[in-house]
Amino acid sequence: MGVQNLSGKTGSVAEKLAKDLKAHIDKEESLALPLLGILRDLANAKLSNASARRASLLYVKFEEEYPGMLHGHKELYKALERLKKVGAEEGHLTAVRFAEALEKHSREEEEVLYPAALLAGRTAAKQVKAKS
């Protein structure tokens, strides 16, 4: 059972959270994840010029979206606090654990994954610039 299928206020809060997360996750999948996907080739000095060009274009878009994505996390933390509070009040410990796990994941994105994606994109852009 997904947390958005829970009863009471917990279910309502979880359902709204799931809807709000969709656009954020789509943005991560289209911008951050492809940049993270080039890390192995970058680390092994095997990034092709074509991949570097694609990554440098994504990097520009991700760099523009990055502040908004961080702001989205601030809003997410507020929603997760609501989910934890209501879930605890109604005895839905699954919702509380889910919220805690999503908070942890979001912190990992902010502290590791987003900076790594930016670094990968910046490195790819430098490669493109050096080859032109």
Q: In this predicted model, what pLDDT tens digit does every residue of 91-120 receive, in sequence order?
A: 999 999 999 999 999 999 999 999 999 999
Burial class (CB in 10 A: 0-12, 13-18, 19+), 24: middle
Instruction: Return d(Cα 76, Cα 78) in angstroms, integer.
Output: 5
Instruction: Return d(Cα 59, Cα 77) in angstroms, integer.
Output: 26
Q: What's the confidence (pLDDT) of residue 5? A: 67
Q: What is the pLDDT of residues 25-72, one digit of tens each?
A: 999 999 999 999 999 999 999 999 999 999 999 999 999 999 999 999
Q: Which tokens belong to 32?
A: 């951050």
This prediction's pTM: 0.89
> How is the chain split into domains, by residue range?
3-131
| Contact by Cβ (8 Å): 88, 9 | no
| Contact by Cβ (8 Å): 131, 47 | no
